[in-house]
Structure 1
Amino acid sequence: MENVIAYSPFLMKGVTVTIALSVCSILLAVALGLLGAAGKLSERLWVQRIAGIYITIVRGIPDLVVMLLLYFGGQVLLNQIGALTGLWTYFELNQFVAGVIAIGFIFGAYMSETFRGAYMSIPVGMIEAGVSVGMTRITLFRRVIWPQLVRYALPGFTNNWLTLMKTTALVSVIGLEDIVYNGFAAGRATREPFTFMLIALFVYLVLTILSDTGLRALERRYTRGVQRGV
């Protein structure tokens, strides 16, 4: 217990990094997901194909492989570009930024399918009614499409968010000091790895419970007054 107390600031730093990484990654994933869904729903065939290739490739490659490729391969690519253009001599990709890009890129593909499915669940008559009363595209999206999109996407979004939080543990392999990395380092230093991994487990469990509770409350708010099927 003394070791846990002594390393508590170190562990809290890891918790902060994990939360920040999760939030930044989900924001990027949502942005890419909306773009991917718009691409899949586009009337232009080439746009559909680009979005389809992105979704298919990402969902077919292990998350760890994507992260390692982006972190190590991305640095090599950027340094080669710098050497060719003369714009910079050496570029080192920040571990936090690499983690956000990798996780956001991965879950952007899953979010694309979540948003596409949610959009297709919106009754066509609601959109047609908005058009018939003269709504502009922005007004139609803000007043009709977005509220319905959120309602239908929330269950899938919740699952993706909970999975994304657990996926952040992969950043420990590239040296980012998240709760897993710091917990393992503290366990190795004190020769109590089991104790500190239990703490990391507890942290993820608490974050999952809080997230699930909050998102389910949000889902109830958006589905208020909506009759559910039995």
Structure 2
Amino acid sequence: MQYFQLMGFGPDGWGRDMLAAAGMTIGVSIVGFVAGVLFGCCGAAAKLSRFGSLRWTAEVYTTVFRGVPDLLVIYLFYFGSSSLITSVASMFGAQGFVGAPAFLTGALAIGVVSGAYQTQVFIGAVEALPRGEIEAARAYGMSSLLLFRRVVLPQAIRFAIPGVANVWQLVLKESALISVVGLIELMRQAQIGAGSTRQPFSFFLTAAALYLLITFVSGIGFQALEKRAMRGVRRPA
């Protein structure tokens, strides 16, 4: 009974705060995920390029951001951008430390990290395409752009969806780390509530349930998307 009062929507309940924090988690995860898709597309294009410098740059990118701890990347982005903003502000007479927007820097850090993983997902999807179809399209006289738009992209999306769904789960978990730079997302709100009420188990249990709910609903969405993308494709018996 005490738990439901604590997580209720009454004057002493924390239900609205927890739901608002869950919305913030979803928001920063979506922004970071979309940014990761863009970084991943650029990284995959660079790795598949015929130019050695682009392939080398993409290899360094994926190696660094898959090897460095995510928390460290968030710290580097936040304090690095904050130092830059503080330096620029001091030129105009401002004094003291000027912090970068926690939402923006956190989402960008998540995007860069997830983009390194999505680069590999997109490369795997392209390499899974039947070589015969690409060769037939080239023999038919398709330009590279037309080949990409009509043959490569539609099929690569089909193969990429399961891997992209896994990266989304990773992004959701990474969003909890952004609390270290002051963003009040689900994990941070649970910590605040636990400290204020001295009921840590109730708040962290609720946070875990909300994370699982978000994961479950998004999993259903990705399954529906994959099913739609695979329409008309014959699967092996």
After superposition, the C-alpha distances for 1:131-187 in whole angstroms (9 at most, x for unaligned) are: 333444443322211111111111111111111111111111111010111111112
The Cα of 1:208 is off from its aligned counterpart by 0.7
Alpha-carbon distance change, 87 to 58 in structure 1, aligned in 2, over 3 angstroms: farther
Counterpart amino acid of 2:7? V
1:69 lines up with 2:112 in the alignment:
no
The Cα of 1:214 is off from its aligned counterpart by 1.3
Counterpart amino acid of 2:114? F
Alpha-carbon distance change, 58 to 68 in structure 1, aligned in 2, over 3 angstroms: same
1:113 lines up with 2:120 in the alignment:
yes
CA distance in 2, matches of 1:58, 1:221: 32
Q: Secondary structure at the match of 1:145?
A: helix
Unaligned 5+ residue runs, structure 2? none
1:148 lines up with 2:151 in the alignment:
no
After superposition, the C-alpha distances for 1:53-98 in whole angstroms (9 at most, x for unaligned) are: 0100111111111111111122114434x279x4785753100001
Q: Secondary structure at the match of 2:7?
A: helix
Counterpart amino acid of 2:126? Y
Counterpart amino acid of 1:59? R
1:101 lines up with 2:145 in the alignment:
no
Q: Give the one of 12, 15, 18 matched to 2:22.
A: 15
When the two chains are superposed, the root-mean-square deviation of aligned CA atoms in Å is 2.0
Unaligned 5+ residue runs, structure 1? none
1:122 lines up with 2:125 in the alignment:
no
- Percent identical among aligned pairs is 37
Q: Which residue of 1 aligns with 2:40?
A: 33
Counterpart amino acid of 2:5? E
Alignment of 1:24-63 (within 5 A): 24-63=31-70
Q: Give the one of 194, 218, 230 matched to 2:225.
A: 218
The Cα of 1:227 is off from its aligned counterpart by 3.5
Q: Which residue of 2 aligns with 1:4?
A: 7
The Cα of 1:13 is off from its aligned counterpart by 1.3
Counterpart amino acid of 1:15? A
Alignment of 1:135-214 (within 5 A): 135-214=142-221
Counterpart amino acid of 1:154? I
Q: Secondary structure at the match of 2:233?
A: coil
Counterpart amino acid of 1:52? E
Alpha-carbon distance change, 225 to 206 in structure 1, aligned in 2, over 3 angstroms: same
Alpha-carbon distance change, 56 to 88 in structure 1, aligned in 2, over 3 angstroms: farther
